[in-house]
Structures are given as C-alpha cells and as structure tokens.
A and B are shown apart, each in its own frame.
Chain A
Amino acid sequence: MELNKFIEELFRRGREEGFSDMEVYYIDSDSFEVNIYNQEVDKYNVNKNKGISLRAIYDGRLGYAYSEKFEEEDIEFLIKNAKNNAKETQTDVLPEFYQGGKYKEIEQDVNVDIDAKKKIDDAMFMEKRAKEYDSRIDSVNYCLVETTKGRRKIVNTKGLNLEEEGGVGVAYIAVVAKDKDDVKSGSSFKVTTNYNKIDFEKLVKEACDEAINSLGAESIPSAKYKVILRRDAAATLLATFSSIFSADSVQKGFSLLKGKLNTKIASDKITILDDPFLKDAPLSCSFDDEGVETYTKEVIKDGVLKTFLYDIKTAKKDGVKSTGNGFKSTYKSPVVVAPTNMYIVKGTLGYEEAIKMQEKALIITSLQGLHSGANPVSGDFSLAAEGYLVEDGKITKPVEQITVAGNFYNVLNEIEEVLSDFELALPVGLGSYGSPSIIIKELNVSGK
C-alpha cells in the first residue's frame, strides 16, 4: 500500500478502535557497502530498508507496534497490538504527542550520491596504500566504504507532519602490523555527511601508524599515573557515561546527578554541549523522534551542571519543556532520552605541546570493554587500555596489557587541561560523541 494511504487508513481505523491520539514514525533507507580484500571486492552490499511504527494512546496509556510490511492486514496488526500493549502499560504522566513548533534548518553539505565505481576505487586505494605504507604492515583485515541515504517521517493526529532527509558516508580501515612474533592492530575511520570530505590517505596513515607504533608494547608497573586521555578515548568514555545527563536516569535514580543542577560537578575547564546543528555530523537534525524542535544547549558550563536532557515524558514529570532529546534507535524501539552530538568543548593547548610539558604521564589511546567494565550507575570503571608512556616530554614506549580504573564523577573534577584537538568519534548507540584530548590528574593503573 502507498505510504500516505497506509497512514490515513491506519489513523481512520485507530479512531474507530477508540485511540485518542496516534503517531507514526516511518524510516526508509538505501545503503551501499563495499569491502576490499587483496585488491578484490570481497563483500558488496546493496540494501533497501523501510519500516513503520505506531504509537497510540488508548485510555490515557501508550501502546507501541511496528511493521516492515505495508499491507491491509498490517494495519490491523498494528492497531490490535498497540491497543493490547497500551492496556498493559502503567504511567504516572499522561502521554502526549507534539503539535509542532518552530524548526531551524540544519546547514549540512549532504553528499553521498557517489558512483559505486568510485567507492570501490577509493576502498581499493586505501588497501593498496596501507600495504605499501611500511614493510611491517602484514595485512589489511578490514577496508570498507559505506554510504546510506535515508528519510525520516513523523505524522500524528495532532496535525504534525514532518520529514527530513539525511545521508552518511563512512570509510574504515583496520590493519595488522607484525614484527617477528609481535602482532598489533590499528584502525581509523571517518563518518561524515559529505563523502567528498573523506581523506583516505589520512585514514591509512592513522591506522598504520597506530599499529606500527604499538609494536613492542609492554605492560608498565601498577601505580597511579597522570593520564592524557586521547580525544577518541575521551569520546568513548563520555559516550559510556552520557546517560547520567538523561532526565530519565536522574528520575529513576540511575544517575548520581540528582539534585545537582546549577552546582559545580566538574573542573572549570569543562564545558559539554549537546549540539544538533554540528556541521557534517550525521546525527544533526532539526527535530527529534517525537517531532520536537532541537536546539544547542550547554549541559555543563565551566564545570557547572546547567541542564538535563529531556523528552516529552520526562519533561512533563519535571514540569519543564522537552529539550528535543527524545529519540528511537530504530522504528522498532520506544522513544528514549538521548543526546544528538554531545561533546566536550575544546581548549587552546595543542596535543603535541601538552606532551612536551609532561615529566611523566601515560597517554591512553584506547579503552576497551566499555559495555561491561564501566558502570554508568555508580560511575565506576575499570577498563583495559593501550597507549604510550611519556617521560621528560617525549613518548618513550608503547604500553599494553594494563587496566585503568577510576570513577567518572571524580574524573570530571580531576581534569587539569582540555586540549585543542577536537574530533567527533564514531556514533555509538543513539548519540554521537566527541572530545578533544584531556589531561587527568591521576588514575589507577594496573599493570605488571
């Protein structure tokens, strides 16, 4: 069935069934991915995906159902299930849909309409350059280019009818360096709305350097170390603990920031933004998945907690307005509170300069096991890490087989310096996160 007709019919049937309000969320996307191995196409994917979900209010309660089929019978499936599901939910705030507001247009250079041949050539180029880069580069285990174009549509019975299109281009390379028995990996990626901004040569260099520079890595003695958390590692740490800024977590007691609004929770050097208008960021958008207009906000300003992130439901609970942070990970999922592009605002000191200033410090380039070794509820983390040791202003050796442990709430207060090398990391889950490198007074490191 044609989409608009499907929605119209769905709303008509829904009213007959006694729903007071309904909202549909529709996604369709076209994606392309190519993987290169040994200068040949190894994997080649072309995909078309679409799905619709219905949120419907019945007797003051909200029910959900979704479908990837758009036939007459699927209308009945959606209605029946949304109604049965609504009856089972419990709520202390009446669900509500949004009527619409003033939307600011996003300024994006979206360009992902790229010829398949060019994308294959680009991926081939990356693999070839990586293999030529250094004799110690043993193999390239991932080399891929991906583009996705999508459309998001939200229509409700309150008169809202919004549509936004977007695109994203991704390039990723992972290499293996070998020196006798020593094997190390390195990777690099770029995610952007503008395919032409991908610097393939740079990705190759970053991935290969990372692998080669880690050859010969050793563990270091267990002790407290001053830590330079490199920008990508800092972004992953922020991503892991970002839920503490969600009003939902706060209301449910999953965040220790309850009651801390307008108090100092971090070092003066820290300002964290949630910025839905960040340029070239694939998650930038002018409205959230409930149709609420988005805007740029300071979550932390100079160390002071300024706001939590809200969707309609959590905002209603606290008697405030939604901050435009109600998102769904797919049409299959319920709306949850999530950031758009959340990042730590950069400082002025450069990364290389900062290294020169350290007598002894540990640079951490990657943190692993964030989904298990970090607890967003308590703030505790104990994570496997890799990096470099800095002595007398110079990198002296690569480091591996260590864990760093601490507590995120404490770390926020112990940030001595925020550097100037900001970059957005690969989106994780619902949000996209970024950070410059940060210097932390000390962290517990467990090694040999």
Chain B
Amino acid sequence: MIEKSILQEVLNEALKTGGDFAEIYIEQNDLNTAYMTDGKVESVLSGKDYGAGVRILSGFKCIYAYTNDLSREGLLKIARDASYALTGVKNVESRDFIKLDYTNAHPISIVPSAVDISKKVSKVKEAYTIAKSYSSEIVQVSVRYVDNDKKVLIANSEGLFAEDRRIRTRMAIEAVASDGNENQTGFFGPGRLMGFEFFDNVDIEWHAKEAARIAVTMLHADLCPSGVMPVVIDNGFGGVIFHEACGHSLEATSVAKGHSVFSGKLGQRIASEVVTAIDDGTIQNAWGSSNIDDEGHPTQRNVLIENGILKGYMIDMLNGRRMNMKPTGNSRRESYKYAPTSRMTNTFIAKGDKTPEEIIKSTEYGLYAKYMGGGSVNPVTGDFNFAVNEAYLIKDGKIDRPVRGATLIGKGSEVLLDIDMVGNNLELGQGMCGSVSGSVPANVGQPMIRVKKMTVGGRR
C-alpha cells in the first residue's frame, strides 16, 4: 500500500520526542451493505474506508493519532502531532522491517468484489420471503446483508511488518409477529470470516425460519414470572452471558489497572469445576478469527479457565507492559480510528459431558433460555443483565409453556461458581462486541449450561 521507506520515516518521526515504541496501522476496507424491509430493498450502499493510525508508547503512556490523508506529508503530520504529547529526546531508532511470514489459515473462495451486487441482493430477497411467508402473523421482516474486505498493514519500530486480509460476510434477519395489539420480534444474525461462499456454508433458510418462529412463539407466550430460580441456557448465542459477565473482566484492558474482579487471581478458583473457557482467534473462517491481531501478533488459542481455575488473560502489548506479561494475540480495533487493545475473538465455554436432555430432566422447576438476546455488564462490579429472546418454563424436568419478557441479572463472579452442569453440544453464535477500541466481530459460544440460581426479571 505504502512504500516501506515512508513507513520508516513516519516511525522515526513519531519517536523523535522520546517514545520507546512506534507503530503504524494502515487500513483499506471495502464494504457493501443491502437492507430490505417492508417488502422493499430500501438501501444498497458501498463504501471505501481508507486511513492510517500512528501509535506511540512511552512506558505506560499511549499516544494515538489517525488521518485519512495517506500521503507522505499526511502521515508525517500525524506522527509529528502525536509526538508533541511527549517532551523528551529521541532515544530509539526504528529497526529494519522483517516481514512476518505465515500461512493464511482462513481460505476464501469467492471474494465479495467478484460478485455482482444483484446476486447479493437476491440472497436478501430470498431470506426476506422465507421469513415473511412463515406465518400470517409475521407482519414485518427486515434483512440486512453486509460484506467487507479489509486489508491491514502493521509496521512497528521493533522491525515488525505484517499484513492481513479479512473478508467477512453476515446476514441479519429480524421478524416481527403481531396480533394487532402486541408485537414480538425474533432475530438471527449468522456471520463468517468468508466471502460469498458464506451462503454455501450457512443455511439461510433455516435461520430465516427460526427468526420468524421465535417471533410467533413469543407472541403466544405468557409473561415471564419473576424470582430466583435455576436457569438452563442453551448453546450458541447463550454464550453471550459468559462473554459479557466474565470475558470482559478477563481482558487486560480491565485487569491491568486492577479494576477487574479477576485481577491477581491467576491460579485461583473462579468458576465451578465443570467450567473450562477458551478464547481462540485461530478457528478456521470463524466470525471472530484473523491470522494476526491488530498489532501484528499471530492469533492464538488461549485457555482462560480450566476446570474452574483461572489460567490466563487476554493481553495486548501496552497492558502486557503493566502486567509484565506477554501479549496473547488479542489486540483488536474496529478500524484505524482506534488504538488497539485487548479484546475477545471467539470466546466460549468448552463442552462438557451432559446431554441437553439430562440437564432439562434433572431440573425440577426453572427457566429454559433457548435464545439469548444482548446484554451489558459493569466491568467494575461485574453486575450484568441479559435479555432472553425465547424462553420457556421448566416444570418437573420437562420444557413447559413459552414465556416472554425475561431478563437475567447477576454478578459475573457469582454466576461462574453457580454453573453446575455443562452440556456436550458446543456451538458458536455471532455478535458485534463494543468496547474501548470500537465494535469488533466476535463469536460467543457454549454448550447448554445450567446455573443453579439466577434472578429472573419478568413482568409478572
């Protein structure tokens, strides 16, 4: 994208005032979206993001500047602007680049630019029609398609020079069911680190029908009762609970400064012994994967919790300095507009030995959360909340009637200890995770799990 000699010039400019490390990140992202709702393809949009960010570290200090002007002068200017934040003199020279060599672990067979927009739009129409025709109670459907082809280049003053190309495709389907007075929604949003072959790998018909089925089921559901009860959370996107309530607290961003409840607890029991949790940025073509992270380190498989014992954190370079620990290939950013920091990739609870049937059968009374919605967490206190998109009561070891409007709340550190059963049906679910370095694609995941007791907030 840009000559190496210019990159060296920029890094040296950035180091001029005493920084001990400088990095440049260059990104070009080609993007296409199509949105259909109310029976019409409402918008089709294409765009090109193009920018660069310069980061300077000086001890624990992080200085960042970005621009869309990728000329030599434009890049030198942001390097200079950033360097003004320090007042020392140059003590480090940028080293010669050594290109990071790796084999692409995520083969792409059909790049988005090779496919006509009309073909993409016809996939949108297909999904729309399937969801809409599911039932006469489905009054509205919206389908969003997005693909992006992101090329990144990372070079730093320690001689690292790395490039990656990440192609992702996603389709999100939302269905609304109504009986005239009440509306209920169902949602499914599968995504992969893939090109147009996404549609050969993901069964869109099934997902569209599921979105519609959830909406219709919830339309006929009673209000969820409130109270403290056992909760069985099903596989796939159910893993959002671990992601929000525990995953964020295992990111160096919150661990390094001691703000996390899990700071300083390596080697200690933080979860019940049936819980093993992993963050793995290497899973082939998975939504949250990439060859390298956004500071140029190869992604890796990191065991976070093993049989309930805290084994590791997700660490970026800067926080690694504070923690005196090595980066783990977890440094990510939404775009050149953000300095990278430790983030989750594909994070999941590993599979256990119980069948889903066993788990339900051994639960006398409780809530079965089939599909989870989103949630949020206070990283300081660990307080979390999640919406349940599709829920049922469990009575006498059997799944009973559907209930709507349920919310699960609790504290991350407590819920981990309260997981008493882990199923054998691990699956991943896709989401966009928002945090300090922007919104990044991330997989959540788990097999079916049971939490002994949780506060269920309902409207009854």
- Contact between chains at A373 and B68 (CB < 8 Å): no
Per-position binary interface string of chain B over residues 216-252, scored 1 when its CB falls under 8 Å from any chain A CB and 0 otherwise = 0000000010111000000000000000000000000
- Contact between chains at A368 and B455 (CB < 8 Å): no
**Bound complex: CA of A141 vs CA of B261, how far in Å?**
14
The stretch from B192-200, B368-376, B440-448 touching chain A is: B368-376
With contact pairs A41-B61, A372-B376 given, residues A81 and B46 touching in the complex (Cβ less than 8 Å): yes
Whose C-beta in chain B lies nearest to the C-beta of A49?
B68
B interface, over-half SS: strand
**Bound complex: CA of A196 vs CA of B227, how far in Å?**
48
List, in ascending order, chain A residues with CB within 8 A of B64's CB: 43-47
List, in ascending order, chain A residues with CB within 8 A of B459's CB: 380, 382, 405-407, 444
List, in ascending order, chain A residues with CB within 8 A of B50's CB: 67-69
**Bound complex: CA of A256 vs CA of B81, how far in Å?**
51
Besides the contacts A44-B64, A373-B386, A375-B184, what 19 more A-B pairs have beta carbons closer than 8 Å? Answer: A42-B61, A43-B61, A44-B85, A48-B78, A66-B48, A69-B50, A85-B46, A184-B380, A253-B178, A334-B43, A377-B176, A378-B183, A380-B404, A382-B457, A383-B457, A384-B385, A384-B409, A444-B459, A446-B455
- Contact between chains at B381 and A185 (CB < 8 Å): yes
**Bound complex: CA of A74 vs CA of B164, how far in Å?**
23
The stretch from A89-97, A274-282, A318-326 touching chain B is: A89-97
With contact pairs A141-B257, A382-B457, A448-B228 given, residues A372 and B373 touching in the complex (Cβ less than 8 Å): yes
B34 on the A face (CB < 8 A): yes
**Bound complex: CA of A404 vs CA of B116, how far in Å?**
48
List, in ascending order, chain B residues with CB within 8 A of A66's CB: 45-48
Q: Which of A53, A334, A375, A407 has the most CB of B within 10 A?
A: A375
A-B contact pairs, 25 of them (CB 8 A): A48-B67, A64-B44, A66-B45, A68-B48, A68-B50, A82-B46, A87-B118, A91-B40, A176-B259, A184-B380, A252-B140, A253-B176, A334-B45, A373-B386, A377-B184, A377-B185, A378-B183, A378-B184, A382-B407, A382-B457, A384-B407, A401-B455, A405-B226, A446-B456, A448-B228
- Contact between chains at A89 and B44 (CB < 8 Å): yes
With contact pairs A369-B387, A401-B455, A446-B458 given, residues A88 and B68 touching in the complex (Cβ less than 8 Å): no
A window 398-443: CB within 8 A of B? 400-407
- Contact between chains at A46 and B82 (CB < 8 Å): yes
**Bound complex: CA of A404 vs CA of B458, how far in Å?**
8
Whose C-beta in chain B lies nearest to the C-beta of A374?
B387
B357 on the A face (CB < 8 A): no
A332 on the B face (CB < 8 A): yes
CB distance from B228 to the nearest CB of A (A): 7
B203 on the A face (CB < 8 A): no
List, in ascending order, chain B residues with CB within 8 A of A91's CB: 40, 42
Give the interface of A toward B (CB within 8 A). 37, 40-51, 53, 62-69, 74, 77, 81-82, 84-92, 116, 139, 141, 176, 183-185, 219, 222, 251-254, 256, 332-334, 368-369, 371-373, 375, 377-378, 380, 382-384, 400-407, 444, 446-448
Contact of A44 among B45, B60, B62 (CB under 8 A): B62
CB distance from B439 to the nearest CB of A (A): 12
Q: Which of A48, A92, A139, A141 has the most CB of B within 10 A?
A: A48
- Contact between chains at B68 and A51 (CB < 8 Å): yes
- Contact between chains at A382 and B183 (CB < 8 Å): no
Whose C-beta in chain B lies nearest to the C-beta of A87?
B118
With contact pairs A377-B176, A444-B459 given, residues A384 and B82 touching in the complex (Cβ less than 8 Å): no
Whose C-beta in chain A lies nearest to the C-beta of B59?
A40
Give the interface of B toward A (CB within 8 A). 31, 34-35, 37-51, 60-70, 78, 81-82, 84-85, 116-118, 121, 139-140, 176, 178, 182-185, 224, 226-228, 257-259, 261, 337, 339, 373-376, 378, 380-381, 383-387, 404-407, 409-411, 455-460
Whose C-beta in chain B lies nearest to the C-beta of A403?
B457
Q: Which of A65, A368, A372, A406 has the most CB of B within 10 A?
A: A372
With contact pairs A37-B257, A380-B459 given, residues A184 and B381 touching in the complex (Cβ less than 8 Å): yes
Which 9 pairs, one residue from A and one from B, show the smallest C-beta to C-beta distance? A403-B457, A384-B385, A372-B374, A446-B226, A81-B46, A85-B44, A369-B385, A66-B47, A372-B387
Whose C-beta in chain A lies nearest to the C-beta of B240?
A372
**Bound complex: CA of A375 vs CA of B406, how far in Å?**
12
**Bound complex: CA of A227 vs CA of B409, how far in Å?**
20
With contact pairs A372-B375, A444-B460 given, residues A69 and B48 touching in the complex (Cβ less than 8 Å): yes
List, in ascending order, chain A residues with CB within 8 A of B378's CB: 185, 368
Whose C-beta in chain B lies nearest to the C-beta of A223?
B226
- Contact between chains at B67 and A47 (CB < 8 Å): yes
CB distance from A71 to the nearest CB of B (A): 10
- Contact between chains at B387 and A88 (CB < 8 Å): no
List, in ascending order, chain A residues with CB within 8 A of B139's CB: 253
Whose C-beta in chain A lies nearest to the C-beta of B65?
A46
- Contact between chains at B41 and A382 (CB < 8 Å): no
**Bound complex: CA of A82 vs CA of B47, how far in Å?**
10
List, in ascending order, chain B residues with CB within 8 A of A400's CB: 383
List, in ascending order, chain B residues with CB within 8 A of A183's CB: 261, 380-381
List, in ascending order, chain B residues with CB within 8 A of A77's CB: 48
CB distance from A91 to the nearest CB of B (A): 6
- Contact between chains at A375 and B185 (CB < 8 Å): yes
With contact pairs A64-B44, A69-B50, A369-B385 given, residues A139 and B257 touching in the complex (Cβ less than 8 Å): yes
- Contact between chains at A68 and B49 (CB < 8 Å): yes
- Contact between chains at B374 and A47 (CB < 8 Å): no
Contact of B82 among A42, A44, A222, A333 (CB under 8 A): A44
**Bound complex: CA of A139 vs CA of B256, how far in Å?**
13
Whose C-beta in chain A lies nearest to the C-beta of B82?
A46
Contact of B407 among A51, A88, A383 (CB under 8 A): A383
- Contact between chains at A48 and B69 (CB < 8 Å): yes
**Bound complex: CA of A88 vs CA of B139, how far in Å?**
23
- Contact between chains at A141 and B41 (CB < 8 Å): no
- Contact between chains at B63 and A403 (CB < 8 Å): no
